[in-house]
Amino acid sequence: MKTVLSLKLLAWLSPAFPTGAFAYSHGLEWAVDVGDVTDEASLLAWLTDVLLNGTGRTDTILLRHSHRAAGDACGLVDIAALALATSASRERRDEALAQGKAFVRAAAEWRVPDLPEDTPYAVAVGATAGAHGIDEDLTAGAYLQSFATNLISAAVRLVPLGQTTGLRVLAALEPVILATAAETRNATLDDIGGCAFRSDLAAMRHETQYTRLFRS
């Protein structure tokens, strides 16, 4: 049974799952344009900050609480509203909502819990995994791994970097991903907060960036 449940999670968080994640850089496009991210070391530092102190941490807290509230429609409404309120910019909000809606549509092939119309991605993934009885820690770690992988893929195209460099960054992020997953295990919704200010500014600046390949 655990193997079957893990296969579901692998399918939902696969790059092939049609959430449109490939279209979003989470502000990285601006960071590359202004020279904040130029190589392997600067990409690793940028993503480490986002995972430990920014969206990675916030999303994982929201995902965990959505997982626990999978059978509570009213609770999920409140968590979804809080998730939208944490968006640092219009593009971050659009990114979370667009991927959330795409995930719900695609996951309809399985069983999706009753979710509000405007459900951010992290909330949708957490609630769906919870409804299927998939382990919360496994879901949190897999979500963070998928989040990091998508941003590395964007950086590989933007900087540009080689695929081998991207894989080295992903390998180096393993302890960061595990640390974020562990730190959020007992976090309450009141513990949500971030200080990845440069990443938030990048998302805001990207809205008016002259040349853009990505939607965020």
**Lookup: tokens for 74:** 């009213």
Residues in the chain predicted with pLDDT less than 50, given as ranges, are 1
Q: Residue 35: helix, strand or coil by DSSP?
A: coil
CA distance 27 to 167: 21
What is this structure's pTM?
0.96
pLDDT of residue 11: 96
**Lookup: tokens for 134:** 């998939």
CATH class of 22-206: mainly alpha
Q: How far is CA 117 from CA 67, 102, 123, 144, in A?
A: 18, 11, 12, 24
pLDDT of residue 2: 54
Q: C-alpha angle with apex 172: 168 to 178, nearest 5 degrees?
A: 140
Domain positions in the chain are 22-206
In percent, how much of the chain has pLDDT > 70? Answer: 98
pLDDT of residue 1: 44
Token match 């502000």: residue? 27
CA distance 96 to 83: 9
